[in-house]
Structure 1
């Protein structure tokens, strides 16, 4: 059980507390659709990570073993039980994280993965959990320099978890600038800047824990009182489907590579600066950027019944995910893969329900039918609970479908 999985209950408690305060104080920080979109993307990230081995470990551990004579000669001996060693490891990790994070914003192929974290047009604690599913597995490259100081893989993993857990609390709008901390640490104020799409804020404040890297390398930008942050990305996602979120930029680059007639561009656009598009591909498939002067968040109008249904389904998927994270070691690979695949389709369809997508009625009906067909594959212990869930979902969905002509739905295509 890793540190991030252990931290999840505390994350959820903090989110619940912020939601309660948001409703009580009337801050307006949370929209149900965006919050579910964020959490669904976070779930996708965690469950997909259960199905493959980390390329970082596959490469880092053999290289670490190969460099043992060098470590013995220099005298490197790190211990995860030594607090000072762990603190220094976090410092070294955060330095590498700064450069990884910066390159992710500056190079197309790396932005394709990191973009997911920035797609939310709200900024609250659920935004912190909005993470890429990491299918490209490119980030390990930036942590190879840690081999030079002899950091064992388990300490790198622990330092990375600490770095990521720290970043959770800075995803809030309700903590103002914290005076002297702004000079040394990543705070909610300077991380709000990082998530903003205002021109003055774009590509600033890359640090994970420390802001000193940004001050040293010229990427620091304070939050300005006369420039409120507008959150999201300049080419909006316009869906709450977490699967589509992970393919947004990859899909665009693949289409550009297909349509451009320039063979050099076909192979190099992936590694060009973020946002680069071949002129002929851009002409054939123009993508409109957000008009910041008239910025409107993606917020399709659906009925209260659909919103409540999507919320309850998400609650069920979250419960299933927490169980999977705790019990996955007891499953065979094929049981794990089947469970993860099922959850992926469930999350994607729930996102389309929140979109108000016209096909969501058929997709959800098909989902319930497919789950009913899977009942014989379940352990007898889970059958009564699963059948009860299916019956309740089917009855509510049938009732909502019968009322759909009365629903006022505004669908915004993606």
Structure 2
């Protein structure tokens, strides 16, 4: 069981605490649709991790073993039990993370993956859990320099988990500036800058734990009182479907490669600087950026009953995902893959329900029918539970989507 998986329940508790404070104080930080969209992307990220191989350790471990005699001769002995060794490991890992993160903002193909984390137009603790499901397998390259200091693979994994877990708490709007922290650590204030799409804030503050890298390499920007952060991306997703979130920029690049007549652009636009589009492709398929002077968050309307239904389904997917992560070692690959595909289909349909998409009505019934068709293949206790779930969900959705005449209401008022 990884540190990140163990931390998930604590993340969710923190989200619930912030949500309760938000409702009590009237801050207006949370919208149901955006929160479910972010959490759905986070679930998809954890699900995809079960069925795709990680290249970092597959390459790092053999390289480390090959270099072990050199480390022994040089007297390099790291210990996870030594707190200073662990601290230095986190510092070294975070330095590599800074460059990985920076390149993710500067190269089209890498941005296509990292973009998912920035699509939310709200900024709260659910934004921290909004993670990509897995892009081009090149991230491992940025951590290979850790071999130069002989960092053992297990400490790379631990330092990476600490780095990621630390980043959770900085995704909040209600933690004020603490001046001394702003010089050393990534804080909620300087990370709010990172998530803002204001011109002055774009492509700044890349550190994961330490902000000192940004100060050293010229990418630091302080949060300014006279320039409130506007969250999201310049070319908004306008959907709460986590699969669409992961495919957004890949689709745009593929269409650009299709429309441009320049073969050099067809081959290289994937690796050009973020935002680059061939002139003829842009003329054929213009994608305007949002107007920051009249910014409106994507907030479609659905009925209150459908809104509650989407929340209930999301809670079911969350519980099923936690159960799968907890028991994954007892399942073979094909059992894991089937469960991941079923949950992914559910997350996609739930996102489209929140979008108010016209096809969501039928798609939800198809999903429930497909799940019901799998019941004979499952163990009796599980099949009985899922049969009840399918029946109750189908009846509720039929009534809400096909017979209910309730007035349409805004998902959450601002």
TM-score range, shorter chain: over 0.9
Task: Identify the residue that residue 84 of structure 2 maps to in structure 1.
Answer: 84
Task: Identify the residue that residue 255 of structure 1 maps to in structure 2.
Answer: 255
Which stretch of the first structure deviates more once superposed, 197-206 or 386-395? Answer: 386-395
CA contact (8 A) 2:304 2:409 kept: no
CA contact (8 A) 1:356 1:410 kept: no
1:112 aligns with 2:119: no
CA contact (8 A) 2:303 2:406 kept: no
1:196 aligns with 2:157: no
How far has the Cα of 1:225 moved from its partner? 0.4
Task: Identify the residue that residue 401 of structure 2 maps to in structure 1.
Answer: 401
Question: How far, CA to CA, are the matches of 1:45 and 1:302 in structure 2?
Answer: 27
How far has the Cα of 1:53 moved from its partner? 1.8
| Residues 198-213 of structure 1: pairs in structure 2 closer than 5 A | 198-213=198-213
Q: Which runs of 4+ in 1 moved over 6 A?
A: none
Question: How far, CA to CA, are the matches of 2:410 and 2:315 in structure 1?
Answer: 25
Q: Deviations over 1:293-312 (max 9, x none)?
A: 00000000111011000000
Task: Identify the residue that residue 95 of structure 2 maps to in structure 1.
Answer: 95
| Residues 300-319 of structure 1: pairs in structure 2 closer than 5 A | 300-319=300-319
Question: How far, CA to CA, are the matches of 2:402 and 2:88 in structure 1?
Answer: 61
Task: Identify the residue that residue 141 of structure 1 maps to in structure 2.
Answer: 141
Task: Identify the residue that residue 19 of structure 2 maps to in structure 1.
Answer: 19
Question: How far, CA to CA, are the matches of 2:267 and 2:74 in structure 1?
Answer: 42
CA contact (8 A) 1:242 1:347 kept: yes
CA contact (8 A) 1:300 1:409 kept: no
- TM-score of the superposed pair, with normalisation by structure 2: 0.97
How far has the Cα of 1:273 moved from its partner? 0.5
Question: How far, CA to CA, are the matches of 2:406 and 2:307 in structure 1?
Answer: 15
Task: Identify the residue that residue 155 of structure 2 maps to in structure 1.
Answer: 155
CA contact (8 A) 2:110 2:135 kept: no
Q: Deviations over 1:330-362 (max 9, x none)?
A: 111111100001000000000000000000001
CA contact (8 A) 2:306 2:400 kept: yes
Which stretch of the first structure deviates more once superposed, 258-267 or 229-238? Answer: 258-267
Q: Deviations over 1:248-286 (max 9, x none)?
A: 111111111111111111111111100100111111111
1:390 aligns with 2:385: no
1:66 aligns with 2:66: yes
Question: How far, CA to CA, are the matches of 1:6 and 1:395 in structure 2?
Answer: 35
How far has the Cα of 1:135 moved from its partner? 3.5
Gaps (5+ residues) in structure 2? none
CA contact (8 A) 1:204 1:221 kept: yes
Task: Identify the residue that residue 355 of structure 2 maps to in structure 1.
Answer: 355
SS of the equivalent of 2:236 reads coil
Figure out how many residues of one structure are paired with residues of the other and give that number: 411
Question: How far, CA to CA, are the matches of 1:17 and 1:139 in structure 2?
Answer: 33
Question: How far, CA to CA, are the matches of 1:164 and 1:410 in structure 2?
Answer: 34
Question: How far, CA to CA, are the matches of 2:367 and 2:220 in structure 1?
Answer: 47
C-alpha change, 1:128 and 1:355, in structure 2 (3 Å) is same
Question: How far, CA to CA, are the matches of 1:79 and 1:34 in structure 2?
Answer: 42
Task: Identify the residue that residue 224 of structure 1 maps to in structure 2.
Answer: 224
How far has the Cα of 1:404 moved from its partner? 5.5
How far has the Cα of 1:174 moved from its partner? 0.6
Question: How far, CA to CA, are the matches of 1:408 and 1:146 in structure 2?
Answer: 55
CA contact (8 A) 1:107 1:274 kept: yes
How far has the Cα of 1:406 moved from its partner? 5.3
1:325 aligns with 2:325: yes
Task: Identify the residue that residue 38 of structure 2 maps to in structure 1.
Answer: 38
CA contact (8 A) 2:41 2:130 kept: yes
CA contact (8 A) 2:304 2:408 kept: no
1:51 aligns with 2:51: yes
Q: Deviations over 1:91-122 (max 9, x none)?
A: 00010111111111111111011000000000
CA contact (8 A) 1:301 1:408 kept: yes
Task: Identify the residue that residue 299 of structure 1 maps to in structure 2.
Answer: 299
Question: How far, CA to CA, are the matches of 2:228 and 2:274 in structure 1?
Answer: 24
